[in-house]
């Protein structure tokens, strides 16, 4: 009987961890997408200093998240996003119009990353 109780407790803990990780990744990626939009808005307004500052925060936030890699299923894809964050920061500092392309690329990668973290029956099987 004790084994069944312990098994149920472990199952509940694993289920809670999985559900929490999905919500945490969704929340975090939403915030990252908002910051990418802030970088673009500041750049459009001609405030390259503010754009570079927000891009630095964006890159730092992503690097902190990636250090907490227990939530990440695909580290290879996460490293591509790290590269995109560095590009955004670099283009924002330089005032280069390639910033828009880098932001679009990062948005697409983050959307894909978020979708890859969602559990589906196909992924479980």
> What tens digit of pLDDT does each residue of 73-92 get?
566 777 888 889 999 999 99
Residue 96: C-alpha distances to residues 1, 79, 102 (Å) = 66, 23, 10
**pLDDT value for 91:** 92
* pTM value surpassing 0.85: no
Q: Is residue 65 part of a domain?
A: yes
Q: Is residue 70 part of a domain?
A: yes
Quick one: which of 53, 63, 58 has its CA closest to 93? Answer: 53
Q: Is residue 77 part of a domain?
A: yes
Which tens digits make up the pLDDT trace of 51-68? Answer: 999 999 999 998 888 877
Q: Is residue 40 part of a domain?
A: yes
Lowest mean pLDDT among 39-43, 44-48, 71-75, 94-98: 71-75
Q: Is residue 5 part of a domain?
A: no
Q: Is residue 8 part of a domain?
A: no
* DSSP notation for 2-54: HHHHHHHHHHHHHHHHHHHHHHHHHHHHHHHHHHHHHHHHHHHTT-HHHHHHH
Q: Is residue 119 part of a domain?
A: yes
In this predicted structure, the answer to whether residue 34 has a pLDDT above a threshold of 90 is: yes
Asked if 110 and 85 touch (Cβ cutoff 8 Å), the reply is no
Quick one: which of 28, 124, 38, 37 has its CA closest to 78? Answer: 28
Residue 7: C-alpha distances to residues 16, 17, 24, 69, 116 (Å) = 14, 15, 25, 26, 28
Whole-angstrom distance, CA of residue 50 vs CA of residue 29: 21
**H or E segment and range at residue 87:** helix 75-94
Q: Is residue 68 part of a domain?
A: yes
Per the structure, the count of domains in the chain is: 1
The residue range of the domain holding 46 is 25-124
């Amino acid at each position: 009987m004790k084994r069944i109780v312990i098994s149920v407790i472990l199952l509940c803990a694993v289920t809670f961890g999985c559900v929490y990780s999905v919500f945490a990744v969704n929340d975090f990626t939403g915030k990252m997408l908002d910051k990418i939009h802030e970088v673009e808005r500041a750049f459009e307004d001609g405030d390259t200093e503010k754009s570079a500052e927000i891009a630095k925060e964006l890159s730092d936030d992503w690097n902190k998240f990636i250090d907490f890699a227990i939530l990440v299923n695909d580290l290879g894809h996460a490293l591509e996003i790290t590269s995109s964050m560095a590009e955004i920061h670099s283009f924002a500092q330089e005032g280069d119009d390639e910033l828009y392309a880098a932001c679009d690329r990062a948005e697409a990668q983050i959307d894909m990353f978020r979708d890859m973290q969602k559990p589906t029956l196909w992924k479980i099987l």
